[in-house]
Amino acid sequence: MTGYATREGAAPGFAWTWEIRSVNARGLDIRLRLPEGFGALEADLRKRVAAWAARGSVNVTLRLSRVQDGAASGVDPAAIAAALDALTQVRAAAEARGLPMAPPSPAEILNLRALAEATAPDELPGMEVFLADAEALLDAFVAMRQAEGAALQAVLSDQIDRVADLTGAARTAAAERSNRQADAFRENLQTLIEATDIDEARLAQELALLAVKSDVMEELDRLDAHVAAARELLTQGGAVGRKFDFLMQEFNREANTLCSKSQDAGLTAIGLDLKLAIDQTREQVQNVE
């Protein structure tokens, strides 16, 4: 979901800079910062951004300034005087209300004058000029997101492979644990039969119930199914971030159950590694649209 792009444009007497950036978010949140008098662009910009982004907090900014050609590059004394008069009025009003103001720098004064001149509606280029630039900006933005997405796909693929490898290791450890448990159960069963008058059938039934409760094959089968689903999402294309979010919750649920049922140090260690790999994958999934 993250991305960034910038584009500069110019017309006689004016220069502007477009900037778009996006960060992770649960849904799509589009925020526009446009100069005064550019409200006519807002609906069209929102529509164009929404056509390319399904999730993320997207900020689009347009900065506009007035420029002068070489023949008129000097400072206009009248404009500077007007700006200083305006600042004096603002300072007086602020101090009258107990709000002291720091002295403005020369650069701030010049910027104030340029901003005031640049917003004159009868001198601005047509809105179609800015929309054309915005379209080019979105093209650059999408290209960057696609490049980042390709890199993220490779990272997620490696992490899912890691989860698959650990699931396979857990399956092997669970089988070895089952053999050890079976031997222990038989020894314990024989000891109890010799030491007590307990019903052999009843005791065997209870031991079998314990074995069922500690069986983790169902969790491992579901983990394998989740790995297959994750790999399919990676190649599916489109907005798959929400599906990935849900899938990672299912991954984590099975890993937690595996650890709680392991009753074996080796299997527990693999389960903890599995939980770590799943959590690392979940963090990367937050970047997926």
- Which pTM was predicted? 0.62
pLDDT higher than threshold 90 for residue 7: yes
Q: How confident is the model at residue 29 (pLDDT cuts 50, 70, 90)?
A: very high
What pLDDT was estimated at residue 81?
77
Does residue 69 carry a pLDDT above 60?
no
- Looking at residue 183, its pLDDT comes to 63
Interior angle at CA 83, CA 77 and CA 85, nearest 5: 100
Task: Identify whether residues 51 and 24 lie together within a single domain.
Answer: yes
Domain shared by 31 and 114, yes or no: yes
Question: Do 156 and 95 share a structural domain?
Answer: no
- Clarify whether residues 100 and 174 are in a common domain: no
| Of the candidates 253, 252, 247, the residue with the CA atom closest to the CA atom of residue 230 | 247
Residue 31 vs residue 264, higher pLDDT: 31
| Best CA proximity match to 3, nearest among 27, 17, 21, 29 | 21
Same domain, 125 and 247: no
Mean pLDDT for 189-207 is: 62
pLDDT of residue 217 exceeding 80, the answer is yes
Number of domains, the chain = 2
The mean pLDDT value of the chain amounts to 82
| Type of residue numbered 195 | A
Last residue of a domain, one of 116, 144, 172: 144
Q: Are 115 and 20 part of one and the same domain?
A: yes
Confidence check: pLDDT of 149 > 90: no
124 in the same domain as 29: yes
Q: What is the model's pLDDT at position 122? A: 44
Cα–Cα distance, 61 to 97 (Å, whole number): 33
Residues 139 and 153 in one domain: no
The parent domain of residue 124 ranges over: 3-144
Residue 179 shares a structural domain with residue 138? no
Residues 165 and 127 grouped into a single domain: no
